[in-house]
Amino acid sequence: MGSEGDRTMDLRSKIKRVPEFKGVVFWDITPLLKDKKAFGQCIEELADHFRGHDVRAVASNEARGFIIGAAVAHELGVGFIPIRKKGKLPPKVRSLSYAKEYESDVIEIRDDGIEPGDRILLVDDLLATGGTIRANAELVETLGGEVVGMGFLVELDYLNPRKQLGDKYEIHSLIRLETTNEF
């Protein structure tokens, strides 16, 4: 996409804080996605971090994760595996129910999406509490895949997601926010 010297953009300036969206602080990545240079920089930086990890495929959860994950997969020259909400994929699927911050959810992946031993990179737009990405990892691992890392555009340090995930996975986030009042 670009050369190392082109990576000068302040990515934080492309994230917008929405203070009261559905009762929480919402971090809007839409301005970043709209800016082709910022978006390209994010994809390249995430891909570059995991280039030496022998990644076979990238898996991401819908919806914004698809945008980031598919682009990272393309940049790495590997396939993309969608992880969907219940009922969105044709059978045969593997399902997993998990708890989110305020509710539970069910995600699914095709049974033939991952072969035993496949090295899978999980990518999402935002790491908040870690519940969704942990569920993604469990799905990959139940099919025999190996999670080689997790990449994010934004990580909400103030929610302590790494504590929830432990040190089992390599986590790389481009932007780490320490408070809800970061900008």
- Taking CA atoms, 126 is separated from 6, 54, 63, 99, 143, in Å, by 24, 24, 11, 17, 24
Question: 170 catalytic, yes or no?
Answer: no
Q: How many CA atoms within 13 Å lie on the side-chain side of 150?
A: 26
**What phi and psi values does residue 23 have, to the nearest 5 degrees?**
85, 5
Number of Cβ within a 10 Å radius of residue 12:
14
- State the burial class of residue 132 (Cβ atoms within 10 Å of its Cβ: 0-12, 13-18, 19+): buried
Q: Which residues have C-beta within 8 Å of that of residue 21, sequence separation ≥ 6? A: none
Tokens of residue 38, six digits: 């910022």
Question: 101 catalytic, yes or no?
Answer: yes
- Indicate which residue of 12, 17, 64, 176 is catalytic: 64
- Indicate which residue of 101, 115, 141, 178 is catalytic: 101
Rounded to the nearest 5 degrees, what angle is found at the Cα of 56, between the Cα atoms of 53 and 61?
Answer: 100
Give the residue numbers marked as catalytic: 64, 101
